[in-house]
């Protein structure tokens, strides 16, 4: 339990930093995607912005639990284990939810693809951290 909490905290900080960096670079790298966030399909209520920062913390602890439970199935060095975990997370959690979102709200496939990559890299970062901390 101690490893789940400690690695969850470290991953939370890393994923929060990643989220903040993504906010800063997304308008530069993907200006068309950034424009979509001004669409009426998205809630424009600043009181909900905190959930963008709560999500990485909840995700980090959920992935820490998952890692602790299934780490013996992930083989290779820290990078390979992180990639495998990221692929599992993307296939099981991210992709199915994005298909539903794409069917329900008016966003481009590019936006959905950016969300898929974002989720993949979140799990990759967390997986590398867990691999190094759960030895």
Integer Cα distance of 39 and 27 in angstroms: 15
| Cβ contacts of 100 within 8 Å, gap of 6 or more | none
The pLDDT assigned to 17 comes to 96
What's the pLDDT tens digit per position in 62-81? 999 999 999 999 999 999 99
Section 42-50 average pLDDT: 79
Q: CA dihedral in degrees (88, 115, 111, 38; nearest 10)?
A: 160
Integer Cα distance of 95 and 99 in angstroms: 6
Integer Cα distance of 31 and 13 in angstroms: 27
Indicate the domain borders of the chain. 2-133
Q: Which pair of tokens denotes residue 25?
A: 């670079």
Section 80-108 average pLDDT: 94
Give the model's confidence band at 36: pLDDT under 50 very low, under 70 low, under 90 confident, else very high: confident
Mean pLDDT of the chain: 92
Say whether pLDDT at 135 is over 70: no
Give the model's confidence band at 41: pLDDT under 50 very low, under 70 low, under 90 confident, else very high: confident
Global pTM value: 0.89
């Amino acid at each position: 339990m101690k490893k789940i909490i400690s690695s969850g905290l470290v991953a939370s900080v890393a994923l929060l930093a990643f989220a903040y960096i993504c906010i800063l670079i997304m308008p530069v790298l993907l200006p068309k995607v950034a424009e979509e966030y001004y669409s009426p399909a998205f809630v424009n209520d600043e009181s909900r912005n905190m959930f963008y920062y709560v999500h990485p913390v909840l995700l980090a602890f959920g992935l820490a639990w998952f890692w602790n439970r299934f780490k013996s199935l992930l083989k290779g060095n820290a990078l390979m284990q992180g990639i495998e975990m990221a692929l599992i997370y993307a296939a099981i959690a991210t992709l199915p939810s994005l298909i539903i979102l794409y069917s329900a709200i008016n966003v481009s496939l590019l936006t959905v693809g950016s969300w898929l990559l974002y989720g993949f890299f979140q799990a990759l970062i967390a997986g590398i951290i867990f691999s190094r901390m759960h030895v």
